[in-house]
Amino acid sequence: MTSKEIAIKIIQDLPDSATWADIEERIRFLGAIDKGLADIKSGKVIPHKEVKESLKKWLSR
């Protein structure tokens, strides 16, 4: 599916009472998930162990 087709489906699946803000929020949310999955596929991730170490340093300040 193209991005446009996905956006149309998202809008169609929302209730008739959805506001512009509801539409925008849903599209942004699902777009962010899609971007995250693409990042994972392309290897643009930080290993869990590395994140834990960074948080330890950051939280101990």
The H-or-E segment that residue 12 falls in is helix 3-13
pLDDT of residue 58: 84
In tens, the pLDDT along 5-61 reads 999 999 999 999 999 999 999 999 999 999 999 999 999 999 999 999 999 888 887
- What is the Cα–Cα distance from 1 to 50, expressed in whole angstroms? 35
pLDDT of 45 reads 95
> What does pTM read for this prediction?
0.70
